[in-house]
């Protein structure tokens, strides 16, 4: 269980003070697939970095299984948009996973089975000897996912992992990710600015307002069966509703912000 309570994040710089998050509250249960949705600059990556433990909240609390998040942990695996820089380019696909198992101190005897399992899970077992530079963008992202899953985290934090992929590959990655999620049942917090992507994937969407002083303006439960067809009437209605929310005029956002506890 992940709990974010009234989190505030203030960045101090030479140019002045920037309040990125101002009272974000969110609870995510185990096994849930939650999308943080909002336009660029709404602080969703900031929030994700706090959840990962890379960054500390200025105010409020973030806890994982009732323990405060103070630093990065193997329980919460972050996946980055640019898989090319997240992976080790001097190691082959297989060696990248081996690196993870090594720093995780998993007994060597188990390595071959784990490597096989996760490379197969993302469909890269035929490409295990290739270096990241020899893989396509989608394959590289799948390798990052395989490497992250190989160390068995409790929770997957994904920062716009498919945003740089072409539409076709992205759709295929959605299928792959949902399939993996249904098989392993881990919690996923997925940051995106793409409404269609959020609707395709999530159990619940947390819509965030534009920064500064971002908050979660709305939590939307999606009870529709997967795979979800974007031309389906209910899905289309949901899409329009969220689009309307994101395009909301200033007044609405200000009103809601006033209601947030400080």
Partner 1 sequence: MVTARDGRTTIAEASTQLPLRPLRPSISFVPYRTVLLSTASLLIAFCIWQLLSTVLFNPFLIPPPLKVFRTAIPMLESGEIFADVSISMIRVLVGFITGSLVGVLMGALLGRIRLLHDLLDPIIELLRYLSPTAMIPIAVIWFGIGEMSKYFLIFWGTFFIVLINTTAGVWRAPIARQRAAECLGANRLQIFVLVVVPSAVPYIVTGMRVAMASSFMSIIPAEILAADSGIGYLLQKSSMLLQTDRIFVALLTICVLGFIVDRIFRLLVDRVLARYMSFVSQT
Q: Which residues bind partner 1 (CB under 8 A)?
A: 11, 18, 20, 39-46, 52, 54, 72-74, 76-78, 80-91, 99-100, 103-105, 131-133, 137, 140-141, 144, 147-148, 151, 153, 164-165, 193, 210-212, 246-247, 250, 253
Q: Which is nearer to partner 1, 44 or 186 (CB)?
A: 44
To partner 1, the closest distance from the beta carbon of 10 in angstroms equals: 12
Q: Enter the tokens of residue 132.
A: 């990241």
Q: Which is nearer to partner 1, 40 or 224 (CB)?
A: 40
Distances (CA, A) of 65 to 68, 181, 217, 254: 8, 20, 25, 33
Residues in Cβ contact with 154 at an 8 Å cutoff, skipping those fewer than 6 apart: 30, 64, 65, 75, 76, 186, 187
**Smallest distance from the beta carbon of 88 to partner 1, in angstroms?**
7
Of residues 32 and 55, the one with the C-beta less far from partner 1: 55
Least separation, in Å, of the C-beta of 142 and partner 1?
A: 12
What angle do the packed helices 111-121 and 93-103 form, to 10 degrees? 130
Nearer to partner 1, 83 or 202 (CB): 83
Which residues 6+ apart lie within 8 Å of 6 measured at CB? 23, 24, 25, 59, 60, 61, 261
Q: Residue 129 and residue 97: Cα distance in Å, rounded?
A: 12
Closest CA to 24 of 177, 215, 258: 215
Rounded to a whole number of angstroms, the minimum distance from the CB of residue 5 to partner 1 is 21
Q: Select 106 or 235, whichever has its Cβ closest to partner 1.
A: 106
User: Minimal distance in Å, beta carbon 185 to partner 1?
Assistant: 20
CB of 239 to partner 1, least distance (A): 13
Per the CB < 8 A criterion, the answer to whether 36 and 44 are in contact is: yes
154/226 with CB nearer partner 1: 154
């Amino acid at each position: 269980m992940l709990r974010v309570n009234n989190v505030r994040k203030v960045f101090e710089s030479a140019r002045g003070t920037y309040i990125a998050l101002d009272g974000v509250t969110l609870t995510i249960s185990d096994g849930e697939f939650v999308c943080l949705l909002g336009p660029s600059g709404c602080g969703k990556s900031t929030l994700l970095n706090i959840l990962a433990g890379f960054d500390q909240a200025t105010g409020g609390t973030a806890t994982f299984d009732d323990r405060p998040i103070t630093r990065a942990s193997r329980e919460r695996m972050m996946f980055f948009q640019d898989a090319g820089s997240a992976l080790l380019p001097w190691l082959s696909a297989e060696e990248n996973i081996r690196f993870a198992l090594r720093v995780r101190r998993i007994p060597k005897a188990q390595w071959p089975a784990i490597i096989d399992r996760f490379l197969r899970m993302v469909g890269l077992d035929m490409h295990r000897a290739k270096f990241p530079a020899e893989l396509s963008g989608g394959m590289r992202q799948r390798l990052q996912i395989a490497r992250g899953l190989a160390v068995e985290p409790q929770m997957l934090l994904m920062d716009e992992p498919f945003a740089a992929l072409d539409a076709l590959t992205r759709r295929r990655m959605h299928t792959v990710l949902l399939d993996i999620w249904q098989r392993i049942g881990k919690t996923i917090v997925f940051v995106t600015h793409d409404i269609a992507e959020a609707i395709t994937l999530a159990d619940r969407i947390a819509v965030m307002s534009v920064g500064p002083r971002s908050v979660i303006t709305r939590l939307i439960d999606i009870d529709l069966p997967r795979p979800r067809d974007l031309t389906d009437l209910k899905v289309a209605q949901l899409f329009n509703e969220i689009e309307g929310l994101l395009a909301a005029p200033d007044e609405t956002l200000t009103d809601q912000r006033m209601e947030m506890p400080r």
